[in-house]
């Protein structure tokens, strides 16, 4: 005689076994059918050697189509800033420009030239002493103390991330012996890289009569700066800690907000004075293409970063 309890127990066991098999098969199908997530080769590494905080290299690149920005009749995003350029640093070709050869103040974007001259003249592990004159500079500063000594590589990184004027003066004095001697080196270097419509009178970009450049020349400067491996690392630093000689630590973020707004933006330099307006040289790399965008004379920070983002996205995303 059949035992009904055994039959019922057997059916339950078979159903449980079937369920387990279905789960296992489903897991195999999912694991085999879903391709491994690809990593954008242009994304930053998980731990950038220049940045103290980890960077997620698994970002989802979600294009923000350029047509979301108003466009002119030529199809280029509409901009109000008086001088702009989109530049290909590899071919050295101008992709788009408006008043790109107009001479004007460019503020702290010229600190890229300060960094290049310092790199050309001195080893970056050399220690440089802060002169008293550097402590008098305003407004953007790190409040380094007179007589303090720092390695050049540390000062250069602070120069392009924080845009500190006292650091710019310290570098100039330490590298060339005086501000005037360094300015001569700046103008000589500028001519060597093709900046024919520029003249500099200080290493920090504060307004001074007879000091000027152009959007085109700043694009050439940004191109030269990006070819330097150490400066290239520094300009993409999103934030850093600066430790003074007395142990005080100051944390600050990069003044270039595009580093936080566009995943493929890899840096460059801001600048602002009353004479120059809001200025930004930015650079982005996507799918093997690199573009430099320079916007000079914007009225507001919002305008500056919106127009720079629009041009950079248009030039790389289409």
Average model confidence (pLDDT) across the chain: 83
Q: How confident is the model at residue 8 (pLDDT cuts 50, 70, 90)?
A: very low
The CATH number of domain 66-317, selected from 3.50.50.60, 3.40.710.10, 3.90.1150.10, 1.50.10.10: 3.40.710.10
Q: How confident is the model at residue 173 (pLDDT cuts 50, 70, 90)?
A: very high
Instruction: Tell me: pLDDT of 41 over 50.
Output: no
pLDDT value of position 64: 52
Is 209 tagged catalytic?
Answer: no
Which is catalytic among the residues 83, 108, 140, 158?
108
Is 269 tagged catalytic?
Answer: no
Which is catalytic among the residues 140, 158, 163, 176?
163
Share of the chain above pLDDT 70, in %: 78
Is 274 tagged catalytic?
Answer: no
Instruction: Tell me: pLDDT of 278 over 90.
Output: yes
pLDDT value of position 71: 79
Q: How confident is the model at residue 201 (pLDDT cuts 50, 70, 90)?
A: very high
Given a contact cutoff of 8 angstroms between Cβ atoms, the answer to whether 57 and 43 are in contact is yes
For 72, 99, 223, 281, 285, the CA distances from 267, given in Å and listed in that order, are: 27, 23, 12, 8, 10
The mean-pLDDT minimum among 108-112, 186-190, 252-256 falls in: 252-256
Give the DSSP letter of residue 93: E
Helices and strands in the chain: count of H runs, count of E runs? 9, 9
Which is catalytic among the residues 83, 111, 162, 201?
111
The mean-pLDDT minimum among 26-35, 138-147, 260-269 falls in: 26-35
Q: Where are the domains of the chain?
A: 66-317
Backbone φ and ψ for 296, nearest 5 degrees, come out as: -120, 135
Q: How confident is the model at residue 180 (pLDDT cuts 50, 70, 90)?
A: very high
Q: How confident is the model at residue 68 (pLDDT cuts 50, 70, 90)?
A: low
Q: How confident is the model at residue 74 (pLDDT cuts 50, 70, 90)?
A: confident
pLDDT value of position 65: 52
Q: How confident is the model at residue 9 (pLDDT cuts 50, 70, 90)?
A: very low
Q: Indicate the pTM of the whole model.
A: 0.79
Q: How far apart are CA 66 and CA 80, in angstroms?
A: 16
């Amino acid at each position: 005689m059949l035992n009904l309890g055994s039959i019922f127990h057997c059916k339950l066991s078979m159903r449980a076994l079937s369920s387990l098999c279905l789960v296992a098969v489903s897991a195999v199908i999912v694991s085999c059918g879903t391709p491994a997530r690809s990593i954008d080769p242009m994304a930053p590494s998980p731990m950038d050697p220049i940045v103290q905080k980890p960077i997620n290299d698994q970002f989802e690149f979600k294009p923000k189509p350029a047509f979301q920005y108003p466009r002119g009749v030529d199809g280029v995003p509409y901009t109000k800033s008086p001088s702009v350029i989109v530049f290909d640093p590899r071919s050295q070709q101008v992709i788009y420009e408006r008043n790109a050869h107009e001479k004007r103040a460019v503020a702290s974007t010229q600190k890229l030239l300060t960094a290049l001259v310092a790199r050309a003249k001195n080893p970056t592990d050399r220690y440089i002493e802060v002169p008293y004159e550097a402590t008098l500079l305003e407004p953007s500063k790190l409040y380094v103390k007179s007589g303090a000594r720092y390695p050049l590589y540390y000062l250069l990184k602070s120069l392009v991330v924080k845009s500190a004027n006292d650091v710019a003066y310290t570098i100039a004095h330490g590298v060339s012996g005086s501000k005037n001697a360094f300015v001569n080196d700046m103008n000589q270097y500028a001519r060597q890289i093709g900046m024919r419509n520029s003249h500099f009178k200080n290493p920090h970009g504060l307004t001074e009569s007879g000091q000027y450049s152009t959007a085109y020349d700043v694009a050439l400067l940004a191109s030269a700066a990006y070819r330097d491996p150490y400066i290239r690392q520094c300009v993409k630093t999103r934030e850093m800690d600066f430790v003074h000689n007395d142990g005080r630590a100051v944390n600050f973020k990069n003044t270039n907000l595009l580093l936080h707004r566009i995943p493929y933006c890899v840096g460059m330099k801001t600048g602002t004075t009353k004479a120059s307006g809001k200025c930004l040289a930015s650079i982005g790399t996507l799918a093997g293409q690199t573009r430099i965008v320079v916007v000079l004379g914007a009225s507001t920070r919002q305008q500056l970063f919106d127009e720079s983002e629009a041009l950079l996205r248009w030039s790389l995303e289409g």
